[in-house]
Amino acid sequence: MAQRLAEAAEVALTNVSPEIAIPGLAARIVMADLHPPVPVLLVVAAFSRHAAALDWGRTRLEETYGPVALTSPPYDFHHTAYYEREMGPGLHKCLFAFRDLVEADCLPAVKLHTNALEAQLTTTANYPEPRPLNLDPGVLSLGKFLLATTKDQAHRIYLRDGIFAEVTLRFEAGSFEPWPWTYADYREPLVRDFLKEARNYYRERLRQGDRCGP
């Protein structure tokens, strides 16, 4: 389908007759030129009531995405009781920002991978909870922080394979700022300060000319 749409767009452009003088048409075509997106910074939020589960998740993630460059201070995830039935009480959460930049369209693949890791840990039966670990991937660019989700809402955009993207925070006036729909813990100064630190790291990687991968 994507290939057919791309071919149709190319045909439409090549079929514009040079004899048709439409003011501003050439400028609009130039402005519509496609450019490869800038790579982004992968950030994964992990939470559990078990320190060993968090360590396991970090290790598995680093095996695929390379080393973690920055880790947020851990904090109590008390902002909702939504996960207690599956994960138990007393949850602790932290965020991992990875050293290697990733493609801007990687979120669906990463979310499917983190879902598989959660299921893998569950099948070990090492923990009493049906979901001992939650991994929420997101990507950070200079202007925003996005999270992947499997749930649709009015403010989310469908990507592919059952995965949606949400712009959770925007960077404005020197800090990451929430939207009305932003999750409660992402409104916390600790989380937003960490993401600003991650943004500074990411900006420096871009200045160094780093692309995706090590």
| Segment 54-73, tens digit of pLDDT | 999 999 999 999 999 999 99
Q: State which H helix or E strand residue 64 sits in.
A: helix 51-65
Is pLDDT at 198 greater than 90 in this prediction? Answer: yes
3-state secondary structure of 187: helix
User: What is the sign, positive or negative, of the torsion defined by CA atoms of 154, 191, 160, 9?
Assistant: positive
Helix H or strand E encompassing 42: strand 41-48
d(CA 119, CA 8): 41
Total structural domains within the chain: 2
Q: Could you give the CA distance from residue 74 to residue 204 in angstroms, rounded to a whole number? A: 25
Residues 9, 81: one domain? no
Claim to verify: residue 20 and residue 47 sit in the same structural domain: no
Q: Are residues 119 and 145 in the same domain?
A: yes
What is the rounded CA–CA span in Å between residue 207 and residue 198?
Answer: 14
The answer to whether residue 214 is domain-embedded is no
The pTM score is 0.84
27 and 104 inside one domain: no
For 163-178, what is each residue's pLDDT tens digit? 999 999 999 999 999 9
Segment 34-54 shows an average pLDDT of: 95
Task: For 110-136, write each residue's pLDDT tens digit.
Answer: 999 999 999 999 999 999 999 999 999
Output the six-digit token pair for 39: 């790579």
| Domain interval for residue 26 | 2-31
